[in-house]
A = this chain, B = another copy of it.
Amino acid sequence: MAMRSTTLVYDFADAAHLGRDLLGGKGAGLAEMTRIGLPVPPGFTVTTEACRAYMATGQVPEGLWQEVRAALARLEERMHRRLGDADDPLLVSVRSGAPVSMPGMMDTILNLGLSARSVEGLARRTGDARFAYDSYRRLIQMFGNVVLGIPLERFESELAAVRQEAGAAADDAIDADRLRALCERYRVVVQRESGRPFPETPWEQLELAVRAVFDSWNNPRAQVYRRLNGIPDDMGTAVNVQAMVFGNRGADSGTGVLFTRDPNTGEAVLTGEYLANAQGEDVVAGIRTPSPVASLRREAPELYARIEEVARRLESHFRDVQDIEFTVEGGTLYLLQTRAAKRSARAAVRIAVEMAREGLIDKEEALKRVDPADLERLLHRGVDPTARVPELARGLPASPGAATGRAVFDADRAAEWARRGERVLLLRPETTPEDIHGIVAAQGVLTARGGMTCHAAIVARGMGKPCVVGCDALRIDLEGRRAEVGGSVVAEGDVVSIDGATGRVFLGEVPLVEPELGGDVDTLLAWADEVRRLGVRANADTPEDARRARAFGAQGVGLCRTEHMFMAQDRLPVVQAMILAESEEERRRALDRLLPMQQSDFEGIFRAMDGLPVTIRLLDPPLHEFLPDVESLAVAVAVAEQRGDEGEEAQRRRELLRKARALAEKNPMLGFRGCRLGMLYPEIYEMQARAIFRAAFAAARDGVDCRPEVMIPLVGDVEELRRMRDLVERVYREESERAGRSLAFPLGTMIEVPRACLVADEIAEAADFFSFGTNDLTQTTFGLSRDDAEGKFLGFYVERGVYAHNPFEVLDAKGVGGLMRIALERGRGRRPGLKAGICGEHGGNPASIAFCHAAGLDYVSASPYRVPVARLAAAQAALAERGGRK
């Protein structure tokens, strides 16, 4: 038995100083409301410490029952009734209440204290036998189910039989006698199912109920919920025992739920529902429809005024919107619970801003009140959360936003249908660069294979286009132009919808909600900008992306990936010609054709980001990404050979296969890519550098303030950076002379392989800035291919708690972050003040942004839609630091 020296049970009236860790959220709310004089039915709380001791030893701690008995005695005295009394019994509710809200645990037992004997006293005392037996029958049912584990249907079938015998349409048409008989039948059920009689002594009921709450802490649903939400397993729950009040004692009684502001819109009006002459349970059962709480203003003005007063009192006391449960018994208001209200993303922003304006909280508190993820939700069209739409399947949420369109199964058709004005959704096993025009044409993309960084996911995210990938359940039959999902068939032209924020797939059209922007968000973000230290840039590959990012408040482009420019339909053939070139000369000819195309891309971006820095990463992916894949080519060639096909196309495919095979890699992630391309084919980087400088000089001629920053990818040794710097600087001198203009441009590198972190002192000698490419750095640090892990073992790892988070979503502070700290320390040791940012997807993740702030980065770069998220998260990180310093 665990040692203990403290009290385990506290009356609400004596507990307000103890806090939610010991009392649970519900208990703390009840104690605090009692303390400030609000009408709370009296009761007491068994602390979480009692639960923890019980979990540790399997036994209730010594002295617990004595304390409970003493508290109960005090309650009985206060209420002038005794639990189980034959004449005028005290009834109590028993409810769990953990320090954090946690669905899945045992919730509530009402009417505890009734027995075959005391129910008659209650009937006599209230003069309402029907009420008394109905209360008793509810107790047996709830207790039997949640404490004794008897399935509900065992009781419900008895109730149905009685209802049938009575010829009653609803339960409230069953009379007192039949209810008394039903209680008998319930007791038989309990004896049969649990092998023991229904406990008729109230004390036994109470003891079992308290144990049941303790036990429910470790039931499977609660365990899963804790794992998913990162709640410690050893926190434990409190138990609240409270005198019953009854909302079902006539027209001047009732029960309701109240929000001090509208939790959906955030508007400062009382919102909620009220059901007269009813208990909480009845609201849930849906027998009668509750009225808006506002209807009380007319129907019961005094009560409403009292509610308003209490609501105002609670909100200003707790300095947040409250979600309140109340009961009215004989015209008297009783409060049963208060807690901070859950609210929609939209409401969260409005409430925070308005409360700050009202002076209820300060601006910093307002910034802390909004979850950055809420902002992202506001910036995409989403599936209307109020709509009930059956889900067809679920994949990975690769790019947020919802989209609806007619299903097409190839890129050409997508483009063709889009040209004639159809909204289409592209369905593919997976996409390749050859599908790019189809992705451009489509409302969204859905693939059967691929992980969060597969081609479709990256391209769609870059375009801000909704995308769901890795939807295993989808079996696509390309030749038949159809797909099968579970039992359903999606034929070409059928309407399909996807929700890229959740990965859900729907058949047919779903109601969408448009992105919410405007005053309150702007206000909040302006406050964030006053507070944050981290700069926020955007990952943007096109002028359009850049404009969007700037509108969202980006202070520059932190990553412009040049390869996506290679993937456009009109460019891919030129890119392929470059790759297939057998000589440097031939390659240069193809590059000469690409040069003006890249130049115009860059020019557009420079104009969009006039006055702000634009970090351009030179070509990074392995060249085979621009070719069709080997397997499909090999099959086509083999089949053509089998057919004896010797046509020109067959020849071309054979040639393509030869080259694709030569370029194919076992581990392209670790292969011939990044600056390794520039080292062996300097003419490629030369073309890109030339395009950058020509674009900058051309735009500068029109008065644009161009601030290009050239970034060399995948550097692992300073020698790579030195040579690439020499190349870029040579091209700069040529172009500067040609244009008769000059330009200061920083040149830096991605830090995305572990070695770069360890030799960062050397690399810093040749780098004006570091940009942490944490996508690849995470892959190499863990030895974990994102494409292969997601959908295979990564889910298992996160679900089973091997990894606390998916490291591609939340930056791994100890491993990857440890390497980043080494890189910063060594890099800045050699070059003090070295600028450093992050351009992996973690740049848009709040927890990771907090790390970046703490590690001393200068900026984060996120996808355009996550720029507002990053601004807020950066402000929160700065505030947390101040808080930590106090």
A interface vs B, CB < 8 Å? Answer: 630-631, 634-635, 638-639, 642-643, 665-672, 676, 679-680, 714, 716-717, 719-720, 723, 752-755, 758-759, 776, 779-785, 787-789, 792-793, 796-797, 801-803, 812, 814-816, 818-819
A754 (CB) vs chain B CBs: closest residue: B754
Q: Contacts A635-B635, A753-B782 hold; do A679 and B796 have CB atoms under 8 A apart?
A: yes
Q: Are B781 and A755 in contact (CB under 8 A)?
A: yes
A722 (CB) vs chain B CBs: closest residue: B802
A630 (CB) vs chain B CBs: closest residue: B631
- Residue in B643, B668, B680, B776 whose beta carbon sits within 8 Å of that of A788 in the complex: B668
Q: Are B666 and A815 in contact (CB under 8 A)?
A: no
Q: Are B667 and A787 in contact (CB under 8 A)?
A: yes
Q: Are A753 and B781 in contact (CB under 8 A)?
A: yes
- Residue in B635, B670, B801 whose beta carbon sits within 8 Å of that of A783 in the complex: B670
Q: Are B801 and A670 in contact (CB under 8 A)?
A: no
- Residue in B668, B780, B792 whose beta carbon sits within 8 Å of that of A780 in the complex: B780
User: Sorted from nearest, which 7 A-B pairs have the closest CB atoms?
Assistant: A753-B783, A670-B785, A755-B815, A667-B785, A671-B788, A754-B754, A758-B818
A714 (CB) vs chain B CBs: closest residue: B783
Rounded to whole angstroms, the CA-CA distance of A826 and B781 in the bound complex is 17
Q: Are A670 and B788 in contact (CB under 8 A)?
A: yes
Q: Are B631 and A758 in contact (CB under 8 A)?
A: no
Complex contacts, A788 vs chain B, CB 8 Å: 665-668, 670-672
Q: Are B780 and A783 in contact (CB under 8 A)?
A: yes
Rounded to whole angstroms, the CA-CA distance of A723 and B803 in the bound complex is 13
Q: Are B802 and A783 in contact (CB under 8 A)?
A: no
Rounded to whole angstroms, the CA-CA distance of A819 and B666 in the bound complex is 25
Q: Are B679 and A797 in contact (CB under 8 A)?
A: yes
Complex contacts, A670 vs chain B, CB 8 Å: 667, 669-670, 779-780, 782-785, 788-789
Q: Are B754 and A780 in contact (CB under 8 A)?
A: yes
Complex contacts, A639 vs chain B, CB 8 Å: 638-639, 642
- Residue in B667, B754, B755, B815 whose beta carbon sits within 8 Å of that of A667 in the complex: B667
Rounded to whole angstroms, the CA-CA distance of A630 and B784 in the bound complex is 22
Cβ of A821 to closest chain B Cβ, rounded Å: 10
Rounded to whole angstroms, the CA-CA distance of A717 and B816 in the bound complex is 12
Rounded to whole angstroms, the CA-CA distance of A666 and B758 in the bound complex is 27
Complex contacts, A643 vs chain B, CB 8 Å: 642
Rounded to whole angstroms, the CA-CA distance of A670 and B789 in the bound complex is 8
Q: Identify 9 new A-B residue pairs, CB closer than 8 A, beyond the known A668-B788, A676-B793, A716-B782.
A: A635-B638, A638-B638, A670-B782, A670-B789, A679-B793, A679-B796, A754-B780, A754-B781, A754-B819
- Residue in B672, B785, B816 whose beta carbon sits within 8 Å of that of A755 in the complex: B816
A670 (CB) vs chain B CBs: closest residue: B785
A640 (CB) vs chain B CBs: closest residue: B642
Rounded to whole angstroms, the CA-CA distance of A814 and B753 in the bound complex is 14
Complex contacts, A676 vs chain B, CB 8 Å: 793
Complex contacts, A784 vs chain B, CB 8 Å: 670, 716
Cβ of A867 to closest chain B Cβ, rounded Å: 29
Q: Are A814 and B759 in contact (CB under 8 A)?
A: yes
A812 (CB) vs chain B CBs: closest residue: B755
Rounded to whole angstroms, the CA-CA distance of A3 and B779 in the bound complex is 54
Q: Are A796 and B667 in contact (CB under 8 A)?
A: no
Rounded to whole angstroms, the CA-CA distance of A212 and B94 in the bound complex is 102
Complex contacts, A758 vs chain B, CB 8 Å: 781, 814-815, 818-819
Q: Are A672 and B716 in contact (CB under 8 A)?
A: no
Q: Are A802 and B717 in contact (CB under 8 A)?
A: yes
Cβ of A141 to closest chain B Cβ, rounded Å: 40
Complex contacts, A796 vs chain B, CB 8 Å: 679-680
A752 (CB) vs chain B CBs: closest residue: B783
Cβ of A801 to closest chain B Cβ, rounded Å: 7
Complex contacts, A812 vs chain B, CB 8 Å: 755
Rounded to whole angstroms, the CA-CA distance of A748 and B783 in the bound complex is 19
Rounded to whole angstroms, the CA-CA distance of A784 and B639 in the bound complex is 35
Q: Are B818 and A666 in contact (CB under 8 A)?
A: no
Cβ of A850 to closest chain B Cβ, rounded Å: 19
Complex contacts, A631 vs chain B, CB 8 Å: 630-631, 634
Complex contacts, A816 vs chain B, CB 8 Å: 755
- Residue in B759, B793, B802 whose beta carbon sits within 8 Å of that of A719 in the complex: B802
Q: Are A815 and B679 in contact (CB under 8 A)?
A: no
Cβ of A799 to closest chain B Cβ, rounded Å: 11
10 CB contacts below 8 A, A to B, read A635-B635, A665-B787, A669-B783, A679-B793, A679-B797, A716-B815, A717-B803, A752-B783, A753-B782, A754-B819
Rounded to whole angstroms, the CA-CA distance of A776 and B665 in the bound complex is 17
Rounded to whole angstroms, the CA-CA distance of A797 and B674 in the bound complex is 14
Cβ of A620 to closest chain B Cβ, rounded Å: 12
Q: Are A783 and B815 in contact (CB under 8 A)?
A: no
Rounded to whole angstroms, the CA-CA distance of A631 and B638 in the bound complex is 11
Q: Are A720 and B783 in contact (CB under 8 A)?
A: no
Complex contacts, A782 vs chain B, CB 8 Å: 670, 716, 753, 755
Q: Contacts A639-B639, A642-B642, A819-B754 hold; do A783 and B793 have CB atoms under 8 A apart?
A: no
Which of A719, A780, A793 has the most B CB atoms < 10 Å from its CB?
A780
Q: Are B717 and A787 in contact (CB under 8 A)?
A: no
Cβ of A865 to closest chain B Cβ, rounded Å: 27
Rounded to whole angstroms, the CA-CA distance of A68 and B752 in the bound complex is 57
Rounded to whole angstroms, the CA-CA distance of A282 and B345 in the bound complex is 95
Rounded to whole angstroms, the CA-CA distance of A758 and B812 in the bound complex is 11
Q: Are B776 and A783 in contact (CB under 8 A)?
A: yes
Rounded to whole angstroms, the CA-CA distance of A705 and B133 in the bound complex is 77
Rounded to whole angstroms, the CA-CA distance of A818 and B723 in the bound complex is 24
Q: Are B753 and A672 in contact (CB under 8 A)?
A: no
Rounded to whole angstroms, the CA-CA distance of A604 and B244 in the bound complex is 75
A454 (CB) vs chain B CBs: closest residue: B666
- Residue in B642, B672, B793, B814 whose beta carbon sits within 8 Å of that of A793 in the complex: B672
Cβ of A84 to closest chain B Cβ, rounded Å: 49
Q: Contacts A635-B635, A676-B793, A793-B672 hold; do A666 and B783 have CB atoms under 8 A apart?
A: no
Cβ of A619 to closest chain B Cβ, rounded Å: 14
Cβ of A69 to closest chain B Cβ, rounded Å: 43
Cβ of A757 to closest chain B Cβ, rounded Å: 9
Rounded to whole angstroms, the CA-CA distance of A779 and B779 in the bound complex is 12
Rounded to whole angstroms, the CA-CA distance of A793 and B792 in the bound complex is 31
Complex contacts, A801 vs chain B, CB 8 Å: 719
Complex contacts, A720 vs chain B, CB 8 Å: 802
Rounded to whole angstroms, the CA-CA distance of A802 and B722 in the bound complex is 10
Rounded to whole angstroms, the CA-CA distance of A816 and B779 in the bound complex is 16
Complex contacts, A818 vs chain B, CB 8 Å: 758-759
Complex contacts, A792 vs chain B, CB 8 Å: 671-672
A629 (CB) vs chain B CBs: closest residue: B631
Complex contacts, A719 vs chain B, CB 8 Å: 801-803
Which of A634, A643, A671, A793 has the most B CB atoms < 10 Å from its CB?
A671
Cβ of A578 to closest chain B Cβ, rounded Å: 18
Complex contacts, A714 vs chain B, CB 8 Å: 783
Rounded to whole angstroms, the CA-CA distance of A451 and B489 in the bound complex is 46
Cβ of A433 to closest chain B Cβ, rounded Å: 15
Cβ of A335 to closest chain B Cβ, rounded Å: 44
Cβ of A684 to closest chain B Cβ, rounded Å: 14
Complex contacts, A754 vs chain B, CB 8 Å: 754, 780-781, 783, 815, 819
